[in-house]
A and B are shown apart, each in its own frame.
Chain A
Amino acid sequence: MAHETTSANPKVNYEYRRRKARDEMRGQVTSFAMMIFMTFIAFIIVLADFDKFYAFPILLVLAAAQVVLQLYYFMHMSHKGHGTAALFLYSGALIAFVTILTFLTIVWW
């Protein structure tokens, strides 16, 4: 009985939840390590004075990867029931992206 207090729902299976939580934790620690590593690389690239031609795209890709990790592991978007939120997030990102692209390509060409 004592275990149940950790959950709002008294019917959940405690062992199952524990396993879930452990998996979750592993994912979060892994992605945390990866994010530190990526940040490290980003600093190295800037410190080592890489050619801008290479440095910019790499930095952007690293940034994008971090956003994805952040969303999926730390903000739980990998969990079920986040479909609508993801849809809105991606449509917003798409609209913003196309708007910026429009400026860079045809408005301020």
Chain B
Amino acid sequence: MSTVAEKRGFLAVLWDYLTTVDHKKIAILYLVSGGFFFLVGGIEAMLIRIQLAVPDNDFVSAGFYNELLTMHGTTMIFLAAMPLLFAFMNAVVPLQIGARDVAFPFLNSLGFWLFFFGGIFLNLSWFLGGAPDAGWTSYASLSIASDGHGIDFYVLGLQISGAGTLIAGINFLVTIINMRAPGMTYMRMPLFTWSTFVASALILFAFPPLTVGLFLMLFDRMFGANFFDVTMGGNTIIWEHLFWIFGHPEVYILILPAFGIFSDIISTFSKKRLFGYAAMVFATVLIGFLGFMVWAHHMFTTGLGPTANAIFAVATMAIAVPTGVKIFNWLLTMWGGSIRFTTPMLYAVAFIPSFVAGGVTGVMLASAPADYQYHDSYFVVAHFHYVIIGGVVLGLLAGTHFYWPKMFGTMLNETLGKITFWLFLIGFHGTFFIQHFLGLMGMPRRIWKYLPNQGLDLFNMISTVGAFFMAVAVIVLLANVIITQVKNVRVGNDPWGDGRTLEWAISSPPPYYNFKQLPLVRGLDPLWIEKMEGRTEMTPAEPLGDIHMPNSSFIPFVMSLGLFIAAFGAMYQIDWRASDGADYVWSLPVLIIGMGITIGSMAVRSLKDDHGYHIHKEELMDDHDKGGRE
């Protein structure tokens, strides 16, 4: 079996990706589909900004605006940011800990396809009678009252893709706990692995509340329950609690992996080991833990009363402490280092002040009395875009440039990369810095249009211009990707030259079985240690032997497809019952067929033994990249 890519037909490649259980290919699937949804969410954002560019604009209608706004937020959080992070986790974490794959390759693929079908389902709402329009938070009183199927698409789509996320999170937890190479103790794991670990634990604990909330909403909307209906004795605030008990950890699920990417980039391009490694690990865990105790800071103005507000305000501010620890450690890592300003490093350097700005407005928002002024104004919009774009998206862009060679074996063009960076950074601050002032001047959040001559015109125009800068930056990035892949100049193991961690000790992209022999890890930054002792590769921890590999499988795709089909049935049975069985007679059969497909494929998976296969020692020896040692 050869690792050299043979020329294969398009269909063969497609089939390969539809059935793959290889973490490196699943990473590419996440990258491509997350990237696609990022573009969709970006187009929605541009339409929003065009509508708000001038006062009293009629570019889009009010109802369509609400749909754009809702789908922008939902898409960006659930379908773009998280999957893109999963792309890097899949591509890098198993390599960083020296594993052959994730713990459950089959589940890895299932997690991806659930996310994918959930996302497609949600976005089909655009073509099937209107998208959800109650904001990405979908507060119950608004969403129960929303006509049409928009909110049903939201509930069912997120339920399906949320199951995928939960599966992916659990898979990473087990992988990191059980699959570390010999010598890779917890306190030798790279920061990206650590932050993936903590983020996965947050997924494990935070997604169930969302699932519960969505189920209650599903019953309210589809089966006539009244959990959130005040007139029937329900309680609409409970949705807010459930949503934010999930929602605040969610923002840390997004930011922690980005922190991890930046930690690795900063130490690589400062040619220094990360300053305060233990403190960094501790801060990451502490942030994860505290993240669960602050959800009500999103509900200060709901009327929880002064006691609750005060306690949640203090708890929220406490998170700024471990965050500050991390900021100082990054600065001190750079301090005295021999810094190379590559594209990823530029992103990392720009991230620090941008994120600090977002953290500062966060603490301002956390002061409950002041939040009565800021709440639901553009100030909040500015805050979360500073943390999400200035933190997460910069991290994703940095990771794209940094890990591209490891994922694809080619190097993105540095000049174009730097052009992307500057355009994006200028555009980002141009768009959002000024929104702080719009908020303070009283511009409410989630409005469709505003009146002229109230002092809002100029700033909104500037904000829209900034958004165009970001759009151009993304187009340059896409061009960069295409040019790079067409030129197809292959690179070696460690294309940045300063790689410190295990992923740079293996070819780019790695062979499908990863390390031929598991590497022996002798400390933090294992590759760097070997380099310092004059070696160029890792010392193996085991003799060359057979490698056990999982078989590819089409079942995850079918399982997810079944739920996708069932979701349509579940949704249209509302109309079927409303029409007293006259219309939509197909809905119930579709629901049953869909569930049948899913349960049937689960049965096949459980009843049919699949032991995988072995790559034999002899084949590994012939393999022409670096010969294995006995």
- Taking beta carbons and an 8 Å cutoff, which residues of A are in contact with B? 84, 88, 91-92, 95, 98-99, 102-103, 106-107, 109
Which of B255-263, B303-311, B359-367 lies at the interface? B303-311
Write the nearest CB–CB distance from B289 to chain A, whole angstroms: 8
Beta-carbon nearest neighbor of B291 in chain A: A95
Contact among B201, B204, B308 with A107 in the assembled complex (CB-CB below 8 Å): B308
A99-B311 contact in complex given A84-B177, A107-B296, A109-B305, C-beta closer than 8 Å: no
Q: Decide if B437 is an interface residue (CB 8 Å cutoff).
A: no
**A98 B205 Cβ-Cβ under 8 A:** no
Question: In the bound complex, how far is the Cα of B304 from the Cα of A99, in angstroms?
Answer: 15
Interface digits, B289-332 against A, CB 8 Å rule (1 contact, 0 not)? Answer: 10011001000000011011001000000000000000000000
Query: Among residues 326 to 366 in chain B, which have CB atoms less than 8 Å away from a CB atom of chain A?
Result: none
Q: Decide if B45 is an interface residue (CB 8 Å cutoff).
A: no
**A107 B304 Cβ-Cβ under 8 A:** yes
Q: Decide if B591 is an interface residue (CB 8 Å cutoff).
A: no
Q: What residues of A have a CB within 8 angstroms of the CB of B18 in the complex?
A: none
Q: What residues of B have a CB within 8 angstroms of the CB of A95 in the complex?
A: 205, 289, 292
Contact among A88, A103, A109 with B307 in the assembled complex (CB-CB below 8 Å): A109
Beta-carbon nearest neighbor of A85 in chain B: B177
Beta-carbon nearest neighbor of A103 in chain B: B241
Interface size class of B (residues with CB under 8 A): 10 to 19
Q: What residues of A have a CB within 8 angstroms of the CB of B292 in the complex?
A: 95, 98-99
Write the nearest CB–CB distance from B236 to chain A, whole angstroms: 14
Query: Among residues 236 to 258 in chain B, which have CB atoms less than 8 Å away from a CB atom of chain A?
Result: 241, 245
**B177 A106 Cβ-Cβ under 8 A:** no
A92-B205 contact in complex given A107-B304, A107-B308, C-beta closer than 8 Å: yes
Q: What residues of B have a CB within 8 angstroms of the CB of A103 in the complex?
A: 241
Query: Among residues 172 to 209 in chain B, which have CB atoms less than 8 Å away from a CB atom of chain A?
Result: 173, 177, 201, 204-205
Beta-carbon nearest neighbor of B315 in chain A: A102
- List 18 A–B pairs whose Cβ atoms lie within 8 Å, in order of A's numbering: A84-B177, A88-B201, A91-B201, A91-B205, A91-B289, A92-B204, A92-B205, A95-B205, A95-B289, A95-B292, A98-B292, A99-B245, A99-B292, A106-B308, A107-B304, A109-B305, A109-B307, A109-B308
Beta-carbon nearest neighbor of A92 in chain B: B205
Q: Is the interface of B mostly helix, strand, loop or mixed?
A: helix
Question: In the bound complex, how far is the Cα of B198 from the Cα of A88, in angstroms?
Answer: 11
Q: What residues of B have a CB within 8 angstroms of the CB of A102 in the complex?
A: 293
Q: What residues of A have a CB within 8 angstroms of the CB of B173 in the complex?
A: 88
Query: Among residues 408 to 434 in chain B, which have CB atoms less than 8 Å away from a CB atom of chain A?
Result: none
Q: What residues of A have a CB within 8 angstroms of the CB of B205 in the complex?
A: 91-92, 95
- Given A88-B173, A91-B289, 10 more pairs with CB closer than 8 A: A84-B177, A95-B205, A95-B289, A98-B292, A98-B293, A103-B241, A106-B304, A106-B307, A107-B296, A109-B307
Q: What residues of B have a CB within 8 angstroms of the CB of A109 in the complex?
A: 305, 307-308
Q: What residues of A have a CB within 8 angstroms of the CB of B201 in the complex?
A: 88, 91
Beta-carbon nearest neighbor of B302 in chain A: A107
Q: What residues of A have a CB within 8 angstroms of the CB of B305 in the complex?
A: 106, 109
Question: In the bound complex, how far is the Cα of B292 from the Cα of A91, in angstroms?
Answer: 11
Q: What residues of B have a CB within 8 angstroms of the CB of A107 in the complex?
A: 241, 296, 304, 308
Write the nearest CB–CB distance from B196 to chain A, whole angstroms: 15
Q: What residues of A have a CB within 8 angstroms of the CB of B308 in the complex?
A: 106-107, 109
Question: In the bound complex, how far is the Cα of B325 from the Cα of A77, in angstroms?
Answer: 36
Write the nearest CB–CB distance from A87 to chain B, whole angstroms: 10
Q: What residues of B have a CB within 8 angstroms of the CB of A106 in the complex?
A: 304-305, 307-308, 311
Question: In the bound complex, how far is the Cα of B292 from the Cα of A88, in angstroms?
Answer: 15
Q: What residues of A have a CB within 8 angstroms of the CB of B293 in the complex?
A: 98, 102
Question: In the bound complex, how far is the Cα of B295 from the Cα of A103, in angstroms?
Answer: 12
Question: In the bound complex, how far is the Cα of B201 from the Cα of A102, in angstroms?
Answer: 21
Q: What residues of A have a CB within 8 angstroms of the CB of B304 in the complex?
A: 106-107
Write the nearest CB–CB distance from A75 to chain B, whole angstroms: 17
Q: What residues of A have a CB within 8 angstroms of the CB of B204 in the complex?
A: 88, 92
Question: In the bound complex, how far is the Cα of B205 from the Cα of A98, in angstroms?
Answer: 13
Question: In the bound complex, how far is the Cα of B201 from the Cα of A98, in angstroms?
Answer: 17
Write the nearest CB–CB distance from B208 to chain A, whole angstroms: 10
Question: In the bound complex, how far is the Cα of B177 from the Cα of A102, in angstroms?
Answer: 31
Write the nearest CB–CB distance from A93 to chain B, whole angstroms: 10
Beta-carbon nearest neighbor of A98 in chain B: B293
Beta-carbon nearest neighbor of B177 in chain A: A84
Q: What residues of A have a CB within 8 angstroms of the CB of B241 in the complex?
A: 103, 107
Question: In the bound complex, how far is the Cα of B205 from the Cα of A92, in angstroms?
Answer: 7
Beta-carbon nearest neighbor of A106 in chain B: B308
Question: In the bound complex, how far is the Cα of B173 from the Cα of A99, in angstroms?
Answer: 23
Write the nearest CB–CB distance from B322 to chain A, whole angstroms: 17
Question: In the bound complex, how far is the Cα of B307 from the Cα of A95, in angstroms?
Answer: 20
Beta-carbon nearest neighbor of B237 in chain A: A107
Question: In the bound complex, how far is the Cα of B246 from the Cα of A99, in angstroms?
Answer: 12
Interface digits, B385-414 against A, CB 8 Å rule (1 contact, 0 not)? Answer: 000000000000000000000000000000
Question: In the bound complex, how far is the Cα of B249 from the Cα of A99, in angstroms?
Answer: 13
Query: Among residues 270 to 297 in chain B, which have CB atoms less than 8 Å away from a CB atom of chain A?
Result: 289, 292-293, 296
Question: In the bound complex, how far is the Cα of B300 from the Cα of A107, in angstroms?
Answer: 11
Question: In the bound complex, how far is the Cα of B312 from the Cα of A102, in angstroms?
Answer: 10
Q: Which of A84, A92, A107 has the most CB of B within 10 A?
A: A107
Q: What residues of B have a CB within 8 angstroms of the CB of A84 in the complex?
A: 177
Question: In the bound complex, how far is the Cα of B177 from the Cα of A99, in angstroms?
Answer: 27
Question: In the bound complex, how far is the Cα of B173 from the Cα of A107, in angstroms?
Answer: 32
Q: What residues of B have a CB within 8 angstroms of the CB of A91 in the complex?
A: 201, 205, 289
Q: What residues of B have a CB within 8 angstroms of the CB of A92 in the complex?
A: 204-205
Question: In the bound complex, how far is the Cα of B295 from the Cα of A98, in angstroms?
Answer: 12
Beta-carbon nearest neighbor of A95 in chain B: B292
Write the nearest CB–CB distance from A2 to chain B, whole angstroms: 26
Question: In the bound complex, how far is the Cα of B204 from the Cα of A101, in angstroms?
Answer: 21
Write the nearest CB–CB distance from A99 to chain B, whole angstroms: 7
Beta-carbon nearest neighbor of B292 in chain A: A95
Beta-carbon nearest neighbor of B235 in chain A: A108
Q: What residues of B have a CB within 8 angstroms of the CB of A88 in the complex?
A: 173, 201, 204
Write the nearest CB–CB distance from B329 to chain A, whole angstroms: 24
Question: In the bound complex, how far is the Cα of B308 from the Cα of A91, in angstroms?
Answer: 23
Q: What residues of B have a CB within 8 angstroms of the CB of A99 in the complex?
A: 245, 292
Write the nearest CB–CB distance from B241 to chain A, whole angstroms: 8
Question: In the bound complex, how far is the Cα of B201 from the Cα of A88, in angstroms?
Answer: 8
